[in-house]
Amino acid sequence: MKLPEHLTIKDGHLMIGSHDCNDLAESYGTPLYVTDEKRIRENFTRYNSALKKHYNNVRMLYAAKANGNMAVLKTFADLGAGADVFSSGELHLALLAGMNPENLLFNGSSKTKEDLELAVDKGVRVSVDSFDELAQLSEVAKAKGKDVEISFRINPAIDVPTHPKIATGLATSKFGIPADQILDAYRAALEADNIDPVGMHCHIGSQILEVLPFAKAAEIMVKIAGKLTDIGVKLKFIDIGGGLGIPYHHDSDNAPTPEEYADAVMPVFLEGIARIGIKPELWVEPGRNLMGDTTILLTGVNSVKTAHKKFVNVDAGFNLLLRPAMYDSYHEVIVANRADQKPELEYTVTGPICESGDIIAADRMLPHVERGDLIAVLDCGAYGYSMASQYNCRPRCPEIMVNGDRSAYMRRGETVIDILNTMADLPWVEK
Ligand code: LLP
């Protein structure tokens, strides 16, 4: 199986950076999320340079939902990135990580009044998703005597080749302002108290393995930008979202590189803005492409069972990695302590959750597997831990970061006591 540079095989063991996965599992226990900081930096630098080669006026907003751990956010802050934040929680963490409020965009289709107040207080731009939200934001900003810069989330009505649950720019999607309302939305914003419409925003979907839809979205955005300029909107930024996929099937997915993405999108964007005669910043919001391959999930084998097929029962299930259950996603798995052995038998790797859909990897050829072995699930850095739950009263596992020969917790594992501590005794039930 093709492996990215930070994953290697040495003496039969899978290594992440300079760490033997078996030693990490021994020291920290399983299940365990392991993130390679160096890989984050490489991924960011590559994506950023690919775009900046075409246009220097680019701002990278890491999509914090992919993995919102403080250590990850601080790494991105150190690289000069901002963030796409989708909740007050993500906004607070991005600021605590040291990101400049100027480099954040508060996205979301259902914000509370408190969310809007926080954005105004902190001077963070808001991507507005409805006329109703615009009215409330205007009231909030006016009450505080402050102005707030906004974009609207545009619905570009684009069909993209990905799982329907993560195609976010369809005409039928819950996100964004439909085409026939966009000009009215900006007119309303130009007139609204304490609102300054300076941006446009869209996001067409996630795990997209073709560049054409991105180029199409850029074309739609610049077309609208021209009309907005005509009605007096002074655009400071155009945000084309994230969405570039990664090759989860290491040997067969043909995933576009960031350079191919940039080569497809940037000429369309640059010609478009040149035609209008404006020079807005280009904002992008990648999540998966920066984080996906940086992280593996190490999970221990509790037992092996032969029934109508061979099951490998491991200690991580969809409580820790929801993607296979939710989107039928594919993740490569490697037996980390037999990484140089030939595949011998077909196994299905299943988690400990009480649902038959709790399958991490179905029908995979693996070397002979035994109780006590260690399975590494690859490409878990985006939407892995961030979508984990405590289902079946299973405390969420730790996350560690490795950097050179160092390793450290970036989040300790939860305990059952942590779970219990959020529960309250009912006053009418005797102790
Ligand atoms: N910007 C906005 C407004 C978004 O909604 C998203 C992702 C992104 C940026 C980042 O997209 P990316 O570059 O990571 O594709 N849980 C799903 C993915 C959901 C993505 C939702 N929005 C999964 O595990 O595949």
Q: Do 285 and 367 sit in the same domain of this protein?
A: no
Rounded distance, CA 105 to CA 89, Å? 13
Q: What residues form the annotated binding site for substrate?
A: 288, 323, 327, 355, 383
Q: Do 343 and 204 sit in the same domain of this protein?
A: no
In a domain, 1, yes or no: no
Closest CA to 156 of 193, 121, 201: 201
Give 166's pLDDT tier (boundaries 50, 70, 90). Answer: confident
In a domain, 430, yes or no: no
Residue 8: the pLDDT is 98
Q: Do 12 and 155 sit in the same domain of this protein?
A: no
Q: Which of 290, 308, 329 is the last residue in one of the domains?
A: 290
In a domain, 428, yes or no: no
Residue 330, both tokens: 């594919």
CATH of the domain at 391: 2.40.37.10
Q: Which of 290, 313, 348 is the last residue in one of the domains?
A: 290
Q: Do 126 and 244 sit in the same domain of this protein?
A: yes
Rounded distance, CA 75 to CA 69, Å? 10
Residue numbers of the domain that contains 383? 7-30+294-421
Q: Within a 10 A sphere around the Cβ of 67, how many other Cβ atoms?
A: 31
Q: Do 169 and 57 sit in the same domain of this protein?
A: yes
Q: Do 64 and 151 sit in the same domain of this protein?
A: yes
Rounded distance, CA 276 to CA 13, Å? 56
Residue 162: the pLDDT is 83
Q: Do 285 and 321 sit in the same domain of this protein?
A: no
Q: Do 227 and 324 sit in the same domain of this protein?
A: no
Asked if residue 67 lies in contact with residue 381, where contact means CB atoms within 8 angstroms, the answer is yes
Q: Within a 10 A sphere around the Cβ of 46, how many other Cβ atoms?
A: 14
Give 158's pLDDT tier (boundaries 50, 70, 90). Answer: confident
In short, whether 210's Cβ falls inside 6 Å of ligand 1 is no
Residue 382: the pLDDT is 98
In a domain, 338, yes or no: yes
Quote the number of domains for the chain.
2
In short, whether 25's Cβ falls inside 6 Å of ligand 1 is no
Catalytic residues, by residue number, are: 354
Q: Which of 259, 290, 321 is the last residue in one of the domains?
A: 290
**pLDDT, mean of residues 351-355:** 98
In a domain, 375, yes or no: yes
Ligand 1 atom closest to 163 (CA):
25
Alpha carbon of 428 to ligand 1 centroid (Å): 44
Residue 409: the pLDDT is 98
Mutate to test the pocket of ligand 1, among 285, 318, 380 (most ligand atoms within 8 A of CB): 285
Cα 282 vs. chain centroid, distance in angstroms?
19
Q: Do 177 and 81 sit in the same domain of this protein?
A: yes
Mean of per-residue pLDDT scores for the chain: 97
- For atom 20 of ligand 1, the residue with the nearest CA is 206
CATH of the domain at 238: 3.20.20.10
In short, whether 201's Cβ falls inside 6 Å of ligand 1 is no
Residue 157: the pLDDT is 77
In a domain, 47, yes or no: yes
In a domain, 374, yes or no: yes
In short, whether 162's Cβ falls inside 6 Å of ligand 1 is no
Residue 161 has pLDDT above 90, yes or no: no
> Which 3 state secondary structure label does DSSP give 61?
strand
In short, whether 290's Cβ falls inside 6 Å of ligand 1 is no
Query: Which run of H or E residues covers position 160?
Result: none
In a domain, 229, yes or no: yes
Q: Do 23 and 69 sit in the same domain of this protein?
A: no
Mutate to test the pocket of ligand 1, among 288, 379, 385 (most ligand atoms within 8 A of CB): 288
> Which 3 state secondary structure label does DSSP give 207?
coil
Q: What is the pLDDT of residues 94-136, one digit of tens each?
A: 999 999 999 999 999 999 999 999 999 999 999 999 999 999 9
H-type alpha helices, 123-197? 131-144, 182-191
Asked if residue 34 lies in contact with residue 295, where contact means CB atoms within 8 angstroms, the answer is yes
Residue 49, both tokens: 């340079």
Cα 80 vs. chain centroid, distance in angstroms?
18
**pLDDT, mean of residues 417-427:** 96
Q: What angle do CA 226, 178, 146 make, to 5 degrees?
A: 75
**pLDDT, mean of residues 47-72:** 98
Q: What is the pLDDT of residues 293-313, one digit of tens each?
A: 999 999 999 999 999 999 999
Q: Do 272 and 127 sit in the same domain of this protein?
A: yes
Give 165's pLDDT tier (boundaries 50, 70, 90). Answer: confident
Ligand 1 atom closest to 291 (CA):
14
Rounded distance, CA 159 to CA 166, Å? 11
Q: Do 64 and 204 sit in the same domain of this protein?
A: yes
Residue 172 has pLDDT above 90, yes or no: no
In short, whether 240's Cβ falls inside 6 Å of ligand 1 is no
pTM over 0.85: yes
**pLDDT, mean of residues 240-249:** 97
